[in-house]
Amino acid sequence: MTNEEDSKDYFGQECLEAEINRKFRDLHLKIVNEVISFCKGNNIIVDELFLRADSLSESIKFGSWHPATDSQFELVKDVEGDDYKQTFLFPA
């Protein structure tokens, strides 16, 4: 595949390598399925998942989560009859 063809498949992103994009989609699927399995196994019903981390480059250098990296991981539940969302679970 040429770079021009790649750019059509991955419009708007810097990484145009098909193999890395496939692996990233697989990682996404694995993470979401792991959370779904956790919720199902613990009888947890939620509506949203948020995962965010910054300063990953420092942890990548160390090969694991390093104190320089801050992360947010949260399960959120819609409040019935309201537009409000409530945090159900997050690591303290």
CB 77 within 8 A of CB 46: yes
How does pLDDT run across 22-45, given as a tens digit for each residue? 999 999 999 999 999 999 999 999
Q: In the chain, pLDDT over 90 holds for what percent of residues?
A: 74
pTM, full prediction: 0.80
79 DSSP assignment:
P
Torsion angle (degrees, nearest 10) of CA 26, 31, 37, 43: -150
